[in-house]
Amino acid sequence: MSHTAILWFRRDLRLDDNPALQGALAHGARIVPLYIHAPAEETPWAPGAASRWWLHQSLLSLDASLRRLGSRLWVEEGHSLGELRRVIAATGATEVHWNRLYDPTTRERDARVKQALRSDGLHCESHNSALLFEPWDMATGKGQPYRVFSAFWRNCVKELPTTRPDPAPARLAAAPRTTDGPDVGALGLLPRVPWDEGLRAAWTPGETAALESAATFLDDRIATYGEQRDRPGSPGTSRLSPRLHFGEIGPRRLLAMLRQRGLEPTAGPGEPFVRELGWREFAYHLLYHFPHSCNEPLDRRFVRFPWRTEGTPELLAAWQQGRTGLPLVDAGMRELWRTGWMHNRTRMVVASFLTKNLRLPWQEGARWFWDTLVDADLASNSLGWQWTAGCGADAAPFFRVFNPVRQGERFDADGAYVRRWCPELERLPDLYIHRPWSVPPSRLEAAAIRLGNDYPLPVVDLASSRQEALSAWEQIKG
């Protein structure tokens, strides 16, 4: 009789290109597909509402895929080691396979679980499904972790994997269930107040949708990705970040799909996209080697940075609500609230505005993104915020301040993005769409806009707030 293996799902919610699944199948095991909801064990911060919404939908999709193969998802909630031992006792499993996670608290938890289960006499094996390279695989010539992306990625591109990932199996030999645990709905992941209409309209989570989205992007938009990815008003990006975060698709599959279309990952139209995957790899490299970076600046000078103290709750609320009076900033924050996602160019602009013009701590922005993004990822979130704030590895210099007016005029010249998310400004001419305070009164009247009423005046002056930020930088840069 075949023995039984537990396949412990976490953020690898797929059957295609799933090394833990293949590891269990290699031993001819009957599979117990198990998801244990234990958020307090996995990240420094509780999962945000948008992430919980996505997780609910993705787990339902995974269960449906398993049922088509003759299996089903076993859902539990509680302490991971205790639940694993309980399922092991109920099924007679002799081995456990899972795919690695790299958040500091999760790594510590997984190490304890592996040691305990091996002490129980079980075969435990962890695998890599999330990354092209393990964080410990890449090092400088001196054996140190990288802190500069360009050098890190030059090393990576020499060794990009070329093997074809394993597809999903045609059937799974499922172990019989002796008890019925909670279903996905019992985990309470969905909001009690139905605010998620925008998310439901914007996204279809799950592995099937992830593969379809990747194929559509590679077929229809990869050729113009390098040019269009900076324009928030056009559908030029892949929008695969939440699917990568939840493991509905893996980077090895994306490389294989790229090559299937005759595209090279290091040249031509495929190169800019693969380089963005490289930034994701770099984020995990940094989080692994500098685990404190999710809360503390890598550049220790910024511990002493004089962040603003007066009026901070009001300014933070205006930023969160998209009521700053800077149209590109407000459009980005409203897109985030409505859809759980924000265009990457706009993410940099709103982050710069918070940390430079408002001079509020980057951690405040990181926590807001954590709660509102469907792709809230500890590694990428930490890298992005520290990069923009100027306090991380390979960070933009602090004196680089993104001017939201000039950014809007350059990357949203026709105002399509602002008009979509700030409809009160839709009747403004393109010339003024990114600086409505400069509109002549007659034009404002023709557009039926009363500044300070229909749309707010800017909460800060861009020029003077930039100078205040640079003065604050002068106090610590030595």
Catalytic positions, written as ranges: 276, 279, 307, 344, 362, 385
| CB distance 172 to 31 below 8 Å | yes
Instruction: List beta partners, residue 30.
Output: 4
Relative to beta strand 4-9, strand 30-37 is parallel
Instruction: List beta partners, residue 33.
Output: 7
Task: Note the maximum CA span of the chain.
Answer: 84
Token pair listed for 304: 């002493």
What residue spans of 341-461 are helical by DSSP H?
344-352, 362-372, 378-389, 404-411, 416-421, 441-446
Instruction: List beta partners, residue 34.
Output: 8, 74
Edge-to-edge, what's the strand order for the sheet holding 30-37?
Answer: 74-77, 30-37, 4-9, 95-99, 123-127
Q: What is the CA radius of gyration of the chain?
A: 24
Distance CA 305, CA 313 (A): 19
Q: How far is CA 14 from the centre of its chain?
A: 17
Buried b / exposed e across 301-336, counting CB within 10 Å, b at 16+? ebeebeebeeeeeebbebbbebbbbbbbbbbbbbbb
First to last CA, the chain: 69
The amino acid present at 199, given as its one-letter code, is L
Token pair listed for 196: 């998620």
The amino acid present at 406, given as its one-letter code, is R
Which DSSP string corresponds to 116-166?
Answer: HHHHTT-EEEEE--S-SS-TTT---TTSPPP--HHHHHHHHHTT---SPPP
Distance CA 378, CA 92 (A): 35
